[in-house]
Amino acid sequence: FVQDGWQRPQGGDGLSCVLEDGDIFERAGVNFSHVMGVQLPPSATAQRPDLAGCPYEALGVSLVIHPRNPFVPTVHFNIRCFVAHTPTGAVWWFGGGMDLTPYYGFAEDAIHFHQTCYNALGIHASQLYPRFKQACDQYFYLKHRQEPRGIGGIFFDDFNELPFEDCFHLWQSIGDYFLPAYQPIVKKRHTLPYTDAQRDFQAFRRGRYVEFNLVWDRGTLFGLQSQGRTESILVSMPPVVR
């Protein structure tokens, strides 16, 4: 990974890490950011209009991995925490999740990924997994194509219904379960032989990934609206697309 630390003039800093042209991963981007601002951008207050104009802090880790072999799925993972500073005190909430975008699907991989997402939610799984899975299916949907981006996973936003420590531990658990969800799939698929035609189809499907990130993704929009670092925001884009 090439590491690039940065400072934000408006407040905060981060670390962008990018791996390019690897044997297994054609591009992998991992970003950490902790930023402050004087006014929440519109994308962050769409669900919370009462917080419009409030100063804020936002902290998160996000990653996207685009594999070389078309039989290995692209994966996306993100966890984030927002704190809005209001006249009556701090308002906080958590968000995040992980989702899988195969080019050629294997049912056993889908089952493994979703079972691991369920396990990540621990004692809250029976209550939260159906909600978080449905939210993921709804969010990662290309409305203009009327098709899902991938096979989903779990996704949540504006989450503060448990005490802070419980929310934080849930957040940590989702992070801890990312590698067990994705790594076995990579190990199983990355040596499978593939054809040029299959690589072409992978590049075609990656085009849908780009469309979603530029048209619908709230994280991309938040980054741009908050005058974030463009190269870090767009590192999730695949390197080769048709």
For residue 171 the two structure tokens come to: 């957040």
Residue with tokens 């530029």: 214
Q: Which residues of 93-112 are buried (b: 16+ CB within 10 A; e: fewer)?
A: bbbbbbbbbbbbeeeebbeb
Of 24, 191, 164, 26, give the one whose Cα is nearest residue 89. 164
Active-site choice (76, 85, 144, 190): 76
Bridge pairing between strands 89-101 and 74-86? antiparallel
Q: Cα separation of 83 and 40, whole Å?
A: 10
Q: Is 76 known to be catalytic?
A: yes
Gyration radius of the chain's alpha carbons: 18
At position 190, the amino acid (one-letter code) is H
Listed as own residue / partner, the contacts of 164-169 with beta carbons closer than 8 Å and 24 or more positions apart are: 164/92, 167/94, 168/94
Q: Which residues carry out catalysis? A: 76
